[in-house]
Structure 1
């Protein structure tokens, strides 16, 4: 079984292009095998949301539809 720590070990995080450059409200993401992980940059050792690739695609599509 894979737990959160195993899934995110040696993960390369990047800051969302939609985060501001004022140093406060940053969302970080990481591509992991078959999924996308999201976390708060102010709490890098805290919780992370992990979306499967289909769930992430559905989430992004839902956000971009008007």
Structure 2
């Protein structure tokens, strides 16, 4: 799968105006893509949706 061509990438509104200081996320249906905003043509991590949900839950609840 060519993640860069198939994905619609976005970043958090909390990331501010500096485009080089954040990651971008893409919902790929079968995975969540995560990439460095400084290297849009670079590699992306593909995380299973259930693992991504637990990661976000951990951040929101303060476990992570």
TM bucket normalised to smaller = 0.7 to 0.9
Runs of 4+ in 1 over 3 A off after TM superposition: none
Q: Deviations over 1:6-64 (max 9, x none)?
A: 15142111122231213330211100022211111110111211111100001001111
TM-score (normalizing by structure 1) = 0.76
List runs of 5+ in structure 1 lacking aligned partners: 1-5
What SS does structure 1 have at the residue aligned with 2:50?
helix
- Larger % of helix: which? 2
- Larger % of strand: which? 1
Q: CA RMSD in A?
A: 1.6
